[in-house]
Amino acid sequence: MISKNVKKNFLTNLFIVLSIFLLDRFSKIYVIYLDDKFIDSEIFTSKFLNIHLIWNKGIAFGFFSFDQNHLYNFLTFLIIFICIILFFMILSSIGSKRYFLLMVFGGALGNLFDRIYFRAVPDFIDLHIENLHWFVFNIADIFITLGVFMLILLEIFFSKKKHEKT
């Protein structure tokens, strides 16, 4: 059953993951280029949105940032393990759950690539209202957050109906 699902949707799944990964890669490369060109991390500033480059060595939204190599390496291996688990969850899922998992997987691969290549993840989107700033994030973080949020909504609203039928 799993192999039948994989063959049937392989190109669609690959397209989704690759699109998210490439959108994330191109946005980060462009922001890094602008940062180097202008020699300043303040690339764009407006009333609610700033684009400025920061290098995140932690996990989501800068949590657990540290300079110790062994902790960084442990965290990277943990993220690789989570990506492997996500991959197998995608193989066994169907419907909208699969697409939400693909969003999380595509974003996770984007950030994992940066952790390995740069030893940090470039974050650059800074949403704020006056001096109240949200965590600085990137395109991959958007897809991870949106995918997880949709999975939670799916579990809350559709898992309940599933249990009522039994």
Token pair, residue 53, equals 């480059």
At 85, the amino acid letter reads I
Concerning whether 123 is annotated as a catalytic residue, the answer is yes
Closest by CA to 76, choosing from 20, 23, 121, is: 121
Concerning whether 141 is annotated as a catalytic residue, the answer is yes
Q: Which of 24, 35, 123, 126 is catalytic?
A: 123
Where in the sequence numbering do the catalytic residues fall?
123, 141
